[in-house]
Structure 1
Amino acid sequence: MIWQIVILAMIAAFLGMRLYSVLGRKAEHEEEAIASQLERAQQENENRQQGQQAQLTEAPRNDRALAGFTPAIEQGLREISTADRQFELIPFLEGAKSAYEVILDAFWRGDKEELKQLCDDDVYASFSAAIEEREAAGFKVDNRLIRIEDTTVHSAVLDKKVARIAIRFVADIASVTYDADGNMVAGSLDDAIESRDIWTFSRDVRSDDPNWLLDETDAA
């Protein structure tokens, strides 16, 4: 809408200049009347633009993105958007999808340091324990995320100053497990299995850190 208003203002100014050049040879009082009309038109355009900007500032910027959600999810997302003026749903979903890929890859590789940066303490502890059990048993995995079929908001809530958004991921994953001698004991890289997970990401909206942390994982 803003760019349309700007274009309309430019067209109005251009037409005003054309009118002034054509009528400029008439009486002085007519020139002043035209100038006054142009000033009023310009002021009205500026007022409309300022009003539109105010609406964008005051209202959530995710109106289109929120269409189709249940009332509870929509309310939660609006509350989060109001509390965190930088929050936008579409970039958040893209970031959640990337986090899903990175966290799974780090877990499969046994990279605890990377997991620690992306998860809260409880989730990190669970991942770390699973990695240690796997290593103690001598198992190695060769897992691959083939594709993410769907990324959907499952729930959204603002708990005091902590925003929590649960995302349902539907993905195809190929998984192979090897024993200590390198023998394949489970899985196949040729047959991907559909995985359905609900991961909840959280962020303190008062924090200067824009990053969200994974704070809960469940099977969908």
Structure 2
Amino acid sequence: MVEIAILAMVAAFLGLRLYSVLGRRAEQEEEIVHNGFDRADDQGRVPPSPTAVEEAPRLERPITGFPPAIEQGLREIAGSDRRFDLLAFLDGAKGAYEMVLEAFWRGDKEELKELCDDDVYASFATAIDAREEAGHTLDNKLIRIEDTTVHSAMLDGQIARIAVRFVSDIAAVTRDKDENVIAGSLDDAVESRDIWTFSRDVRSNDPAWLLDETDEG
């Protein structure tokens, strides 16, 4: 079906650079820095990253209850990156998932250029151009994100990699140049299961994570 093909196209082009920042929370005059993807402002801009506090990892969500391989990977990442906070990471990844999908659906090249590396931006731009040339627009809506879980985690040398599985409901509609619906329905959401793998060099002062792999989950 056309709407399924559209969702597949979205997944195929979601290799992009996501900007993260360290959130800072003051509590009893002690600063605790969390590593994640901070929310952008209403112009879609992410504020500059504050300076990290050099302290032992402090995770709001304990690294327990995961399969042994995932738990080991998360502990290795936390041990190498003092700024890493699992809860903040997952919350930010969820926000990034929504932001990236919606930017692509809108055809917002300017925002995507800020979020993507050059190769991935070129892929997004090509898909958007093809869509515009056909006179088609997407009226997709992310109805809800039902689940966000860690699928795998590992520290490969100095590169942290965390794969996150998203289970979401997406209503996909394609319109022609006359605004007629030619595929999909906003009343019929399709369940989407995606696995996005984020990576980061733990030695870098740049808190940015890269979305370097996507797959169906």
* Both proteins in one fold, TM over 0.5: yes
Aligned-residue offset at 1:112: 2.2
Instruction: Tell me how far apart the structure 2 counterparts of residues 187 and 204 of structure 1 sit (CA, whole Å).
Output: 40
Cα 1:200–1:121, aligned 2, differ >3 Å: closer, same or farther?
farther
Identity of aligned residues (%): 71
SS at 2:192's partner residue?
strand
Cα 1:202–1:82, aligned 2, differ >3 Å: closer, same or farther?
same
| Number of equivalent positions | 165
Q: How does 1:160-199 map to 2 (within 5 A)?
A: 160-199=157-196
Instruction: Tell me how far apart the structure 2 counterparts of residues 207 and 183 of structure 1 sit (CA, whole Å).
Output: 49
Q: Which runs of 4+ in 1 moved over 6 A?
A: none
Instruction: Tell me how far apart the structure 2 counterparts of residues 121 and 72 of structure 1 sit (CA, whole Å).
Output: 33
Letter in 2 for 1:185: I
What TM-score does the superposition give when structure 1 sets the normalisation length?
0.69
Cα 1:124–1:77, aligned 2, differ >3 Å: closer, same or farther?
farther
2:61–2:87 Cα contact (<8 Å) kept: no
- Segments of 5+ residues of structure 2 without an aligned counterpart are 1-54
Instruction: Tell me how far apart the structure 1 counterparts of residues 67 and 60 of structure 2 sit (CA, whole Å).
Output: 13
Computing the radius of gyration from Cα coordinates, the structure with the larger value is: 1
Q: 1:215 aligns with which of 199, 212, 217?
A: 212
- Segments of 5+ residues of structure 1 without an aligned counterpart are 1-56
Instruction: Tell me how far apart the structure 2 counterparts of residues 218 and 136 of structure 1 sit (CA, whole Å).
Output: 27
What TM-score does the superposition give when structure 2 sets the normalisation length?
0.70
Equivalence for 1:79:
76
Cα 1:145–1:105, aligned 2, differ >3 Å: closer, same or farther?
same
Cα RMSD of the aligned pairs, angstroms, is: 2.2
Instruction: Tell me how far apart the structure 2 counterparts of residues 67 and 166 of structure 1 sit (CA, whole Å).
Output: 17
**Bigger fraction of residues in strand:** 2
Aligned-residue offset at 1:174: 1.0
Aligned-residue offset at 1:94: 0.2
Aligned-residue offset at 1:153: 0.5
